[in-house]
Structure 1
Amino acid sequence: MSPEEIKQHRVSLIVSTYNRPDALRVCLDSVKQQTILPYEVIIGDDGSRSETADTIKEISRNFPVPIKHVWHEDNGFRLAMMRNKSVAASSGDYIIEVDGDVFLHPKFIEDHLREAAPGIYVKGGRTNLGKELTEEICRQGVSRRISWLTKGIESKPENALHLKSLAHYLAPRYRKHHSSALGCNMSFFKDDYIKINGYDEFFEGWGGEDVDFGVRMQKMGFGKRYLKFAGIVYHLWHEDKFMYNREKNFAYSSSLDDNKPARCVNGVDKYLK
């Protein structure tokens, strides 16, 4: 989008979280540092305890844009459902979604909007931080600048490089025919999301919901732009948790690949007014 077009759109930034208020605090601090602020922030909470609600209430008092807290009961890993509920609760026309255990480069929103277009979804990557650096950042409770040379990066330091012109050149070309999507760093027009009925709520437990989302976006005829060297997020370390339903989720997704409809049955429409 051009600067003039950007001004015409309202961004709803959706932040998915679960029982990690220290990381969420860092994430929201990085939102305040954006060169282009979102219209609103939607916290999609998959059943966290009261500490998360208390943290959101505290931060909301002096936050530059409205924060909405969307919560449902903790009944297992229901990220696909919560993302649908969060989009339904949003009032913007452009959606950017991240996870609550990442924080954002100051030009993150600007980068996504530069590549945004109807019928396109934009996918970014992430730099993974190690345990020691993560604990230091979370103790301080604020985001910080990270470069590819920062001590304490666990993996993918190259993803911390911000190269605007190269990123813009690569966006429609890099991995052009790969249908991947990444729920922790992705954006799209809300109308396009609704056309495929959002996330398929069959997916409970870890994995598969974002891959399925990308496949169905492309089956609908939508294109993808890949943010390499832009749209950067820094992933805070956490222990690997038991990935229940992983085999079931990916088996379901694979079984439908050839005949998968673009619009899922069990999606966002039930939450829309």
Structure 2
Amino acid sequence: MSTYNAEAWLEKVIWGFSVQTEQDFEIIIADDGSGPATKELLDRLAPQLPMPLVHVWQEDNGFQKTQILNKAIVASKSDYLIFTDGDCIPRADFVATHLNRREQGCFLSGGYFKLPMATSQAITKEDILQQNCFNVAWLKQNGLGNVKTSKLTASGFKARLLNAITPTKATWNGHNASAYKSELVAVNGFDTQMQYGGEDRELGERLFNKGLKSKQIRYSAICVHLDHARGYVNDAAWQKNNAIRKYTKDHKVVKTLTGIENL
């Protein structure tokens, strides 16, 4: 999971992973240059967790998420990797859902349920451990407005049906996606030329070019997104990234020239 100077949100996310129904995994924090407070948080939490907590850090050089994610891929010990962000609290069955749905020659594509700031701030450690933050009634009592909540309430056949009929494409979404490590290494990971804006999608587009298919798990692998500002968004980065994505599409690029092998 990626993070940058967001200790309050990161702690909530880690507590979410601490109570997963599937516990045989490692948590890798892909830290894009946070200050010492993040390391202090991780040092405090690590002894309290039932799974290993690995901190992969690089110096702050602006938005370099693609680079730190490649470093995290290299550091990982598992053959299957789940990607999310340090602002997305996973429901207790999040990891199990990804593992149960994994498939060779395929990557999984999930989404998130977006929370307003007031609700994001109201969530405590206890609310995460007891899964209150996935309960619609509790969320509405704590600032959630009148929005569609089918992502949180669908299960079983209904969830599978919604996964099948949703008009949303099954793209690589950095907050909720997974694939075999070997497939990610084969395409040389993320393109480190890219900053914020479609950098996750571009990886998925190269996986498609390699011949992988994608599977929609939008209504099955659930996480709630904590609100925050996005000071790293800029038009120049979007234009550059869009040009790279167009090149990837037009030339059916599979392996980026600026990825894991160039760290």
SS of aligned partner of 1:257: helix
Structure 1 residue 247: Cα displacement: 2.1
> Which residue is 2:2 aligned to?
16
> Which residue is 1:147 aligned to?
135
Structure 2 counterparts to residues 28-67 of structure 1, below 5 A: 28-67=14-53
Is the Cα contact below 8 Å between 1:112 and 1:187 reproduced in 2?
yes
| Partners of 1:258 and 1:148 in 2: CA distance | 44
Unmatched segments (≥5 aa) in structure 2: none
Change (3 A) 1:218 1:156: farther
> Which residue is 2:62 aligned to?
76
1:159 to 137, 145, 151: 151
Matched, 1:239 2:237: no
Structure 1 residue 141: Cα displacement: 7.5
> Which residue is 1:185 aligned to?
176
| Partners of 2:60 and 2:26 in 1: CA distance | 25
> Which residue is 2:206 aligned to?
216
Is the Cα contact below 8 Å between 1:162 and 1:232 reproduced in 2?
no
Per-residue Cα deviation, 1:104-152 (whole angstroms, up to 9, x for no partner) = 01110111112101111001010011111111226x5862432345313
SS of aligned partner of 2:84: strand
TM-score, normalization: structure 2?
0.89
Higher helix content, 1 or 2: 2
Is the Cα contact below 8 Å between 1:22 and 1:141 reproduced in 2?
no
Structure 1 residue 168: Cα displacement: 4.2
Is the Cα contact below 8 Å between 1:124 and 1:186 reproduced in 2?
yes
Unmatched segments (≥5 aa) in structure 1: 1-14
> Which residue is 2:13 aligned to?
27
SS of aligned partner of 1:184: coil
Aligned letter for 1:130?
A: P
Is the Cα contact below 8 Å between 2:170 and 2:215 reproduced in 1?
no
2:80 to 94, 105, 109: 94
| Partners of 2:260 and 2:170 in 1: CA distance | 21
Q: Superposition RMSD on alpha carbons, in Å?
A: 2.1
Higher strand content, 1 or 2: 1
> Which residue is 2:107 aligned to?
121
Structure 1 residue 254: Cα displacement: 2.2
Change (3 A) 1:113 1:240: same
Amino-acid identity (%)? 28
Per-residue Cα deviation, 1:23-63 (whole angstroms, up to 9, x for no partner) = 11100101111110242111100000100000000000121
TM-score, normalization: structure 1?
0.86
Aligned length: 254
Per-residue Cα deviation, 1:141-198 (whole angstroms, up to 9, x for no partner) = 8624323453133665332234133434565x45699462200100001011111111
